[in-house]
Amino acid sequence: MRGRGSNDFDFIQLVNEFIVVLRTYHGVVTKFDETTVVKMFGINPSQYLDYLAMKGDVSDNIKGINGIGRKRAVSLLTEYRDIEGIYKSLDNLPRGLQELLSGREKFLQDQRKFLRIKTEVSLCQERSSGVYEFSKKIVPEKMGAFLGSNWDEILSRSKNCS
């Protein structure tokens, strides 16, 4: 039996020259690298959070800005690179677009912050030894070849916590 898929693409924000995302949807696996993201969305992965903040994301209950959809968000990001670039050039935008965006910079920054996946997580944070021992035993069994030698490095770094 196949699992139910999702149209949620949150992990696309993690894609870079070293990270790809494998996404399963209706039994089909798609590899998202930088090239795939550009082809599919029209933006670089580094622009993905700004894109979602502007257009909204129903799956995460992100409202976005009324009047800015996928095409307009891509167009703005293509020309101005990010939210900050858009607001630096706000006076150069058509009047209607200025009105849509005026006074919304903090809102967009807050949306972007909400959508960002935390990646700066210390392996040395305090944790329950039971949870740690469980994960130390189960993760290699379940993930095996997928994690490969990286699991040894993760374990060695976490053991060196002071």
Q: What is the mean pLDDT of residues 91-100?
A: 97
Same domain (yes/no): 27, 82: yes
CA distances from 152 to 122, 132, 139, 158, 161 (A): 16, 14, 11, 10, 15
Q: What is the pLDDT of residue 134?
A: 46
Same domain (yes/no): 135, 109: no
Same domain (yes/no): 155, 93: no
Domain span at 137:
129-159
Same domain (yes/no): 36, 94: yes
3-state secondary structure the chain: CCCCCCCCCHHHHHCCCCCCEEEEECCEEEEECHHHHHHHHCCCHHHHHHHHHHHCEHHHCECCCCCCCHHHHHHHHHHHCCHHHHHHCHHHCCHHHHHHHCCCHHHHHHHHHHHCCCCCCCCCCCCCHHHHHHHHHHHHHHHHHHHCHHHHHHHHHHHCCC
Same domain (yes/no): 18, 58: yes
3 domain-assigned = no
Whether the pLDDT of residue 3 is over 50: the answer is no
121 domain-assigned = no
43 domain-assigned = yes
Average pLDDT, the chain: 81
Evaluate whether 7 touches 39 at the Cβ level (below 8 Å).
Answer: no
148 domain-assigned = yes
79 domain-assigned = yes
Q: What is the mean pLDDT of residues 118-136?
A: 57
Q: What is the pLDDT of residue 36?
A: 96
Query: What is the percent of the chain where pLDDT is above 90?
Result: 54
Q: How many domains does the chain have?
A: 2
7, two tokens: 């149209």
78, two tokens: 């293509």
Please identify which residue in the block is written with the tokens 């469980």: 134
Same domain (yes/no): 56, 91: yes
Q: What is the mean pLDDT of residues 137-153?
A: 55
Whether the pLDDT of residue 2 is over 80: the answer is no
Same domain (yes/no): 45, 111: yes
Same domain (yes/no): 71, 137: no
Q: What is the mean pLDDT of residues 60-65?
A: 90
Q: What is the mean pLDDT of residues 73-91?
A: 98
Same domain (yes/no): 20, 92: yes
How many angstroms separate the first and last alpha carbons of the chain?
Answer: 46
Whether the pLDDT of residue 148 is over 50: the answer is yes
Q: What is the pLDDT of residue 120?
A: 76
- pLDDT category at 160 given cuts 50, 70, 90 is low
Evaluate whether 47 touches 82 at the Cβ level (below 8 Å).
Answer: yes
- pLDDT category at 5 given cuts 50, 70, 90 is very low
Same domain (yes/no): 51, 78: yes
- pLDDT category at 135 given cuts 50, 70, 90 is low
